[in-house]
Amino acid sequence: MALSVPENPFQRLIKACNDSPVLAVLLSTLKGRINCIQAQLQEHYEAHRTSRNAQYRARILSSDFPGWQVDEILRRLHESSSESDAPLIDTRNNLSFWARPPRHIRDLIAGIQEDIRTVAPTLWFAPPEYLHTTVLEIASSRTPAEVDALVSRLSSEGADARIASYTLSHRTHLVNPVVTYDAMAMALSFVPAADDAYSYHHLRRDVFDQVVASEVEINSRYAVPSAHITIARFITQDGFQREGSGPDARCVDSGRVRALIESIDGINERIRGHWGMTAAEWVVGHEKGLDLHGGRTWYGGGEAIMVGQGFGDVEEKVEAS
């Protein structure tokens, strides 16, 4: 029995941009129409990350900030990996299509992580092999058998391979990175390029449609306008507490919390100085195609089930010339 076709959440935003009254003055040329849609998509991604950073900056720097929201599962995984006892097993199994950052973006992240480590050494920092952005989450917190069934359906007619290599013929650019954060984690966040005829958001829309066409049910937790790579998570309050005088022996050290946030401000100021340069631009599919990743993937681990064909610097330069 065929599944009912769900509404594509990514197409909803594209349609909203397409129907915007702003387009009325640009309808005389197709190029003007396309550029206006892409600019609006970029604005949505920018507004999402800017508003979240402002919201969490205010919360974190407020006098009643209770401390970081520690990821208890990651904390226990981290602790068990350094002990002699049997390691903790994360039972949450997931399935997603990821995009992997190329070397120059991984190098950018490594430098950012090192800067953050100088003021917050107790954070968990994502290793380079864990770095990714989620193009489409298909399922989360499932059993291994449920994930295997979804993979079998995707691979039965080769949809997994077609989707994984889709970026070979559908190039899209992510630009203008900044570090975003909340009380749980930090990420390097990008926005779609405003001058692409085909944007990162269109890629997410198309991957969604192709997965649905394979009769795979999508149960995604979110489809927000975001293209972020998680680079660090809070797994302890250590380093951000001081001795208290009340009934609680320790309390939040607001000075150290502020030092971390101001460090991120400085990092972002430096990164913005590289906007418009190749060093801060990510062509999705460079080096590797999309990665169908399954299993215990919550923090970047798991299994690469299917990795699409990527393209290299030489090919990209030839196409651009």
Residue 313 is predicted with a pLDDT of 56
Confidence bin at 36 (pLDDT 50/70/90): confident
Q: Which helix (H) or strand (E) holds 140?
A: strand 133-142
Asked if 35 and 193 touch (Cβ cutoff 8 Å), the reply is no
Q: Residue 1: inside a domain, yes or no? A: no
pLDDT in tens, 273-313: 999 999 999 999 999 999 999 999 888 999 999 999 999 85
Confidence bin at 256 (pLDDT 50/70/90): very high
Give the mean pLDDT of the chain: 89
Asked if 288 and 308 touch (Cβ cutoff 8 Å), the reply is yes
Q: What is the DSSP string of 152-210?
A: HHHHTTTHHHHHHTGGGTS--EEEEEEEEE-SSEEEEEEEE-TT-SS-HHHHHHHHHHH
Q: Residue 2: inside a domain, yes or no? A: no
| Cα 298 to Cα 287: distance, rounded to the nearest angstrom | 23
Name the residue range of residue 190's domain. Answer: 9-320
Q: Residue 4: inside a domain, yes or no? A: no
Is it the case that residue 265 has pLDDT exceeding 70? yes
pLDDT in tens, 221-238: 878 999 999 999 999 999
Q: Residue 3: inside a domain, yes or no? A: no
Asked if 260 and 266 touch (Cβ cutoff 8 Å), the reply is no
CATH of the domain at 250: 3.90.1140.10
Is it the case that residue 268 has pLDDT exceeding 50? yes
Q: Summarize the confidence of residues 99-103 as an average pLDDT.
A: 98
**What is the value of pTM for the model shown?**
0.89
Q: Residue 293: inside a domain, yes or no? A: yes
Q: Summarize the confidence of residues 164-169 as an average pLDDT.
A: 97
- C-alpha dist (Å) from residue 320 to 6, 162, 232, 313, 316: 37, 24, 34, 11, 6
Residue 319 is predicted with a pLDDT of 43
Q: Pick the residue with more confidence: 259 or 278?
A: 259
How many C-beta atoms lie closer than 10 Å to residue 15's C-beta? 12
Q: Residue 77: inside a domain, yes or no? A: yes
Residue 69 is predicted with a pLDDT of 97
Is it the case that residue 190 has pLDDT exceeding 70? yes
Asked if 255 and 206 touch (Cβ cutoff 8 Å), the reply is no
Residue 79 is predicted with a pLDDT of 83
Q: Residue 297: inside a domain, yes or no? A: yes
Confidence bin at 82 (pLDDT 50/70/90): low
Percent of the chain with pLDDT over 70: 87
What ranges make up the beta strands (E) of 18-108? 93-99
Q: Residue 277: inside a domain, yes or no? A: yes
Q: Summarize the confidence of residues 131-149 as an average pLDDT.
A: 96
Residue 85 is predicted with a pLDDT of 61
Percent of the chain with pLDDT over 90: 73
| Cα 304 to Cα 321: distance, rounded to the nearest angstrom | 34
Q: Pick the residue with more confidence: 298 or 56?
A: 56
Residue 318 is predicted with a pLDDT of 36
Is it the case that residue 99 has pLDDT exceeding 80? yes
Q: Summarize the confidence of residues 25-40 as an average pLDDT.
A: 59
Residue 273 is predicted with a pLDDT of 95
How many domains does the chain contain in total?
1
Residue 177 is predicted with a pLDDT of 98
